[in-house]
Structure 1
Amino acid sequence: MHETTPETHVIQYRAAEQLLAARDPRGALKLLESVVTAFPEKTSVRLLRARAFFLSAQLRAAEEEFQVVLEREPDNSFAHFALGRTLERAGRDDEALRHFRLAAALDPRPDFWEAARFGDRAV
């Protein structure tokens, strides 16, 4: 059995990023298991795993990971936006809107602003 080193975890993390970019979220999740176990406090690892859960339609797991990220970084606009997308995909539109609005307030990117629907009168 090979000894796992911090360098191994970095390589696994980078490979997981590549797998996610190539639309292989399940492959990314497999690589991230040992990285999260070794570094549970690393927000970047948790965020990547949350994205992989989302892309593999594991919405409950994605929601939990995005919540972990937001507990550590309440001002992470991307995590708010991604949690909003997760909740929206789960049919929880009111909860999603809250996170979209937080994302837009933290970072007025056009995609965040559009999702927040600030201009909609019916909201």
Structure 2
Amino acid sequence: MTEEFEYQAPAIVFPGQAGHESAYQTAYDLLARRFPKEALELLDPALEDDPTNTGLRSLRAWAYMLRAQLGKAEDELRALVEENPADVWALHALGRVLERQSRLVEALPHLRLAAVMSDDYDHQAAVYRVQHRIAQLADDQLSGEGSDDAE
């Protein structure tokens, strides 16, 4: 029995299909299907018209995260969190971006706050994962320091 593979091409935006709502919906769909480059091609012009649109900026941060453009994602997410400290998605995403850069101590407060605010299992799991990695690194450093003393 052979499995059939169905390729789904990115959504097409036709001339005249304008507006931020359309750009948001299409970019969201593209990102959900893992097409960040194409999403950015829609988001950038829309954000030129409306640079303060939080929804479009959140999608741009998500696209940067998918493309592993972590510096750009961090900049966007820090700005979003500064503007709205209650934005749970932006807090968690900022923590994840910092975690992916191995900046665990910086990531932990953002992840903790998102977990407390949302009571979401995935957010809580991220906190435990980062806490565990920090503890492991501390143990490794202590083990390494102890072995230096023995020489």
Task: Spell out, residue by residue over 1:1-30, the C-alpha distance to the aligned partner (whole angstroms, 9 max, x if none).
Answer: xxx989433222211111101100011011
Corresponding residue for 1:50? 61
| TM-score, normalisation: structure 2 | 0.71
Q: Does 1:72 align with 2:83?
A: yes
Residue 74 and residue 6 in structure 1: after superposition, are their counterparts in 2 closer, same or farther (change >3 A)? Answer: farther
Q: Distance in 1 between matches of 2:16 and 2:107?
A: 39
Corresponding residue for 2:101? 90
Q: Does 1:28 align with 2:24?
A: no
Q: Distance in 2 between matches of 1:100 and 1:27?
A: 29
Runs of at least 5 residues in structure 2 that lack an aligned partner in the other structure: 1-14, 139-151
Runs of at least 5 residues in structure 1 that lack an aligned partner in the other structure: none
What SS does the corresponding residue of 1:117 show, helix, strand or coil? helix
What SS does the corresponding residue of 2:86 show, helix, strand or coil? coil
Q: Report how many aligned residue pairs link the two structures.
A: 119
Q: Does 1:38 align with 2:49?
A: yes
Larger-gyration structure (1/2): 2
What SS does the corresponding residue of 1:91 show, helix, strand or coil? coil
Using the aligned pairs only, state the percent identity.
40
Conserved 8 A contact 1:19-1:25: yes
* TM-align CA RMSD: 2.3
Q: Distance in 2 between matches of 1:111 and 1:12?
A: 28
